[in-house]
């Protein structure tokens, strides 16, 4: 979906690491090298030696009609440097196997073929946000599809999705 959006809208540059297993605690050397090269190319593209990036899940079954997965997988912000990016990618992939994420999948009868889900991880140049929000196209509490719910806060979006703050809410 982000790729389609990028065709007609300006989005921060980045790259995707596909098909990671939640049980991954280390990346194969060839994949690590490819990620480091992608990070270096991103740095050259934005003309910053070690750009700060967001590392977040981009699973195929996220943000679909059956489930949003909002807040189920880890997001890491302000990640800078090759080793930090590699570590954040591993931790992001591992979050797909968390107890909460597995319970979320089970409640929606998803991913029965594998006890170890796979996930894609998106690495994007960090946007220095003054404010951030999460919008739900249906009320997540009542399920009412005639209501849009927006949770907003000052600063980066992590404070909203992680529960670190009580965000402003608009219905």
**Which residues neighbour 120 within 8 Å (Cβ) at sequence distance 6 or greater?**
16, 17, 18, 19, 20, 57, 58, 59, 60
Q: What is the mean pLDDT of residues 65-70?
A: 57
Render pLDDT for 119-128 as a digit per residue (tens, 0 to 9): 889 999 999 8
Render pLDDT for 78-122 as a digit per residue (tens, 0 to 9): 999 999 999 999 998 888 776 767 766 766 666 545 556 778 899
Q: What is the pTM (predicted TM-score) of this model?
A: 0.77
Structure tokens at 106: 């089970």
Confidence label for 170 from pLDDT (cuts 50, 70 and 90): very high
The answer on pLDDT for 8 being more than 80 is yes
Render pLDDT for 9-49 as a digit per residue (tens, 0 to 9): 999 999 999 888 777 788 999 999 999 999 999 999 999 99
């Amino acid at each position: 979906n982000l790729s389609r959006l990028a065709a007609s809208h300006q989005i921060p540059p980045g790259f995707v690491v596909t098909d990671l297993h939640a049980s991954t605690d280390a990346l194969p050397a060839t994949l690590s090298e490819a990620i480091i090269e992608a990070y270096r190319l991103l740095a050259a593209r934005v003309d910053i030696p070690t750009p700060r990036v967001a590392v977040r899940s981009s699973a195929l079954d996220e943000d679909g009609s059956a489930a949003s997965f909002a807040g189920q997988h880890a997001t890491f912000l302000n990640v800078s440097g090759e080793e930090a990016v590699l570590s954040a990618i591993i931790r992001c992939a591992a979050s797909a196997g968390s107890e909460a994420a597995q319970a979320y999948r089970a409640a929606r009868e998803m991913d029965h073929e594998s006890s170890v889900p796979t996930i894609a991880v998106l690495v994007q140049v960090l946007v220095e946000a003054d404010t951030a929000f999460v919008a739900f196209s249906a009320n997540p509490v009542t399920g009412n599809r005639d209501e849009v719910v927006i949770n907003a806060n000052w600063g980066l979006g992590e404070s909203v999705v992680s529960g670190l703050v009580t965000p402003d809410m608009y219905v």
